[in-house]
Amino acid sequence: MAIKNNSEFDAQQLSSKAEHINSHRRRAEFPQPEKTGFHSEQETAAGDSGDGSSPSTVDTVPQVQQDTPSLKQEPTRGYLSTRYALVTKPGLTLKQRIRFVPGLGYFMAWCNALLRLPRISFLQQQVHELTARLDQLQQTHHTLLHSHEKLKERVTELDEQKVVTRLQRYDALDIGTRLMKLDRMQIARQLKTVNQLMRENQNEDIRKQAREQALLARIDAFERLLREHGAPPLDAFAGHLPVAPAAADTGFDQDKFYVEFEALFRGTREDIKERLKAYLPYLEHITALPALQRLKVIDVGCGRGEWLELMDEQDIPAIGVDMNATMVDACLEQGFAARCDDAIAYLREQEAGSVAAVTGFHIIEHLPFETLIALFDAALHALCPGGVIIFETPNPENLMVGACNFYYDPTHLHPIVPQVAEFMARQRGFSHAEILRLHPYPDNHLLHGGTEVEAAVNKVLFGPQDYAVIGRK
């Protein structure tokens, strides 16, 4: 352990202390006269230690003969002879021999001590500096430990704040989702009200037409009465109204018929949703690009709303357009945006470049050629750059579909060959068009002989039942 000492030494005090120690050591070194010998051979010399003090022990000294005169009788002779014996002792170094010379040895020891004083003072100064440096390092260490503890507390506090912020964000997101659903429900109810008003107006128009037809019938009866009495016909008078043919009331509800037909032949709602998932990769650009996330998808002939439900699950805004009021009501009751309207007219009403995608599943086979071309043109007008069309239809390459299954639906006009549909898309201005064949027959319908004939039969009879033309603006 380092002890702080005073670097300023008193030479006189140090000299007196050294003299006292040396005299004490001389008295202890030489025995009384009654003793017959000197130090034993086990005592060793320490005079070469260089610390400025007289040696307390000496190297092995030969024992004195019994006839050696005692030191008390001849003190000077005994002291000098002993010193002479030590100086001439074999095996000692020159420094050790000088130390045993009377007078000179003490002088040399004092000189050595005085010469070492600056070195000792320098070493003490170094010790002080190292001690101060050690204290400074310990203080810095404590400061760093304190800073580390504060930093850990700050990190813990920030982590807690992040957790709270994240929970608040999730709560806000959940609230936003619920508000969005409520907004969709409100919009759906408003659209349902609008559709009801439109149907009421249509019914009012029908009633007006019926009244007009009744009035025309009465006018015809009045003309016949005039002709019977020889009066001129009413054509001679201005304001004659042409007679419109009376609408035949067969009592057939086509909307209800098609709803029941799809429930039997189209498949369950879950099956249709699972099939439509094949088209989701073609709409990834809508969710990836912020500029397109605000644009909507228009589903032509939305039917029961399977595609609208799938769009809602993907957080893609979508609206369905269908001429079947019963189908539209079914979509509105589920909270999906839909309207009863002509799809081509609705697309033409949209602002150019305001729609992300136009879809239609099993709709184009119902349209005449001129109407189908108008659908492609209206979709191209409404789509934004990079927008896509997806039109699915039965695949006539499958002979079972082209010869039989296509005609299950009595409202189908004629099958459309895939290459022709692709050509239509390109010819009407879509820069990219492709055909995606889907829904082959299950394996239990296939022939498993492995021959080329069986492979050809499997291809033409049990291949993909549907295909989709996919075009990009």
Residue 453 and residue 350: Cα distance in Å, rounded? 52
Under a CB-based contact definition with an 8 Å cutoff, are residues 280 and 310 in contact? yes
CA 30 to chain centre: 94
Backbone angles phi, psi at 349, to 5 degrees: -75, -20
Q: What is the pLDDT along the chain (473 residues), one digit of tens a residue?
A: 444 454 454 566 666 767 766 665 555 444 444 433 333 333 333 344 444 444 443 344 344 333 434 434 445 557 777 777 777 888 788 877 777 787 777 788 888 888 888 888 888 888 888 888 888 998 998 889 888 888 888 888 888 888 888 777 767 766 767 677 777 777 777 777 777 777 667 666 666 766 676 677 767 766 666 666 665 555 554 444 444 444 445 566 676 776 777 777 777 888 899 999 999 999 988 877 776 777 899 999 999 899 999 999 998 999 999 999 888 988 998 889 999 999 999 999 999 999 999 999 999 999 999 999 999 999 999 999 999 999 999 999 999 898 888 988 888 999 999 999 999 999 999 989 999 999 998 888 888 888 888 888 888 888 999 999 999 99
Record the pTM. Answer: 0.50
Q: Which token pair is 451? A: 């021959």
Q: Which token pair is 310? A: 């799938």
Under a CB-based contact definition with an 8 Å cutoff, are residues 422 and 364 in contact? no
